[in-house]
Amino acid sequence: MAFIKNIFDRNFLEYASYVIKDRAIPDLEDGLKPVQRRILHTLFEMDDGKFHKVANVAGSCMKYHPHGEASINPALIVLANKELLIDRQGNFGNLYTGDDAAAPRYIECRVTPLAKDIFYNPKLTPWVDSYDGRNKEPVLFPAKIPVVLVLGVEGIAVGMSTKILPHNVLEVLEAEITCLSGKKFELYPDFPTGGYVDVSSYEGGNGKVLVRAKLDTSDPKRILIKELPFGSTTESIINSIDNAAKAGRIKIQSINDFTTDKVEIEIKLARGVYAQETVDALFAFTECEQSISVNLLVIKNGLPSVMTVTEVIKHHAKQLVKILTSELELEKKELLNKLHLRTLERIFIEERIYKGIEKMKTAKGVQDAVISGFKPFLKEIGTRGVSEDDVDHLLKIPIRRISLYDINKAKDEMDQINARIKEINNHLKNITAYSIAFLKGIIEKIKNNEEIGSGKRRTVVGAFDKVIAKEVVKRDVDLKYDPKTGYLGTNVSGAKVAEVSPFDRILAIRKNGMYTVMELPEKAFVGSDAWWTGIADKDILSDTVFTIIYKDKEEGYPYIKRCVIEGWIMNKDYFLVPDGAVILHLDTREEFTFTLKYKPKPRLKVLTEEFKAQDYNIRGLKAGGIKLSNKEAEKAAAKNK
């Protein structure tokens, strides 16, 4: 059994690790899940400037992604609808209405130039064998911006989940520039559907936000929904309004959806109902307002890590400097190689070193002749010298090129190479300034790209109080109680005991002193002659003193108990008095006078006695009562004043 348990434990751990790292959680370095990374890699490979059928892209991507097109197609459509990395052509669905995209064979896509600027550098990208070993796929792209914040992401893994809200791409880049400049910055979510967001509890991406629709209430008899809260569609928000209307929480005449490329939902209000008084109800009872909990969980250095927005920006600022340094050093190395070869070519042709190989009959003789021919020019060549690979390169120069060799053109090219190397050296010395300039260049490209709306913020950031449903709804429902049948509820024929709302909870104190807090009932049995029924509002009850006058089971002696009901568990029964005791009177006034009538007995001269309730201290719910007399009580009566 222990052996089998070890197998299960090991397999579950491997499965959990796979789901976390290779499917559900994005990597901090490039902000992508594996399927998104493979889609972009496929598009980079296919890129020829033209659009490609999504079905073809998915087919090619299956060389790298082992889970098939059922997972590739939806991921590609979601990524394309972010309007940043993939250009679209055709029906990719409607973000506002929630309509699905057309079939993959009918829609087309291609990678954007911006995606290449951000991700594409095969020489700096680490590669690994694909799942079948036939191809190479990227481990991580060398991303130059924090894509995980720009795109936003949601994923559920084994034992953990991530929900990262999207942010405005220009604000993310500005924040990175500010970070590189050594200054403080703030960054808040921005949603493609617009609307409003309250970020007072955002907590750097690990708290929650409150989102609202944008409402037009200029017409007092109708409300227009112009922008949606994040996470809602026109269909879901209309359904929520319909449900609220059926439940009687809002009063509307009709609702119409005129959404096309812009959201427009018209709510016509019922007679006698006006826009301003309906807005709070829409926020309280429909999807016009929602609370979204967020958790910024990413894979960092191969392990799940919870980070803040600020930490992500700081990490990517350092990563950008590192990537740009590597790119410059790589370019410098390639230019030095090119300069070295151009220098060898010039000397080889100008000094006619190639003439020395005409008499050689062996390959080694040819090679030695070329190397010997360069000896007088080693100072000009530099410490690198002439290698066998250099000789092979020179021997492959066509005769036509030698005969048409232009000395001035070659000199100009070498001057340009030297100028670029000097420029690279300057960038490396001022790498932070170069990084900032790079980000500013990306910002200009985005601003000039009409496809992504010039990167303008769509969601308005502001603070607004969350609307509490029970504070919005009116208490216009009659709660009735029939003392003969013992039933309490809204569907009971009896006397009205209170006006309540559907959100109110009801406190019922029965004849035997047992009390219960319940949801508003249509018809619930609480027993005949219940002492008290009303709304169980903690704010109200915390200021309400219950005075219970009762007699014990054994001797019939009278007691008084004064207490406050402050807490409860729903539908659980509690007792205010000992088991078997009989309640003589219950009152909620802080001050009143009551009279006890005792049972007549021989030699008992005083049969009535008067007390003041306020003379006795308020005690805890579990505390016993205070004995009022050693005489057997018969009944109690309180004075009205």
Please list the active-site residues. Answer: 106
Distances in Å between the Cα of 20 and the Cα atoms of 17, 23, 491 are: 5, 6, 52
- Cα gap 342→336, rounded to integer Å: 10
Look up residue 436 and give its two tokens: 């900032």
Using DSSP, state whether 387 is helix, strand or coil.
coil
Distances in Å between the Cα of 299 and the Cα atoms of 30, 32, 105, 188, 427 are: 10, 10, 34, 22, 31
Under a CB-based contact definition with an 8 Å cutoff, are residues 168 and 455 in contact?
yes
Helix (H), strand (E), coil (C) string for 208-226: EEEEECEEECCCCCEEEEE
Going through 512-612 in order, the beta strands assigned E by DSSP cover 514-519, 524-525, 532-535, 546-551, 558-563, 574-575, 582-587, 593-598, 608-612
Look up residue 331 and give its two tokens: 């370019």
Residues 6+ apart with CB under 8 A from 539: none
Q: At what angle do helices 275-285 and 234-246 cross, to 10 degrees?
A: 110
Look up residue 186 and give its two tokens: 């703030």
**Where does 483-583 have alpha helices with state H?**
538-541
Residues 6+ apart with CB under 8 A from 485: 494, 528
Residue 21's Cβ-count burial label (10 Å; 0-12, 13-18, 19+) is middle
Report DSSP state, residue 327: H
Residue 149's Cβ-count burial label (10 Å; 0-12, 13-18, 19+) is buried
Backbone dihedral angles phi then psi of residue 567, each to the nearest 5 degrees: -140, 160
Q: For the chain, first and last CA: distance in Å?
A: 78
Locus of tokens 């955002």: 202
Using DSSP, state whether 322 is helix, strand or coil.
helix
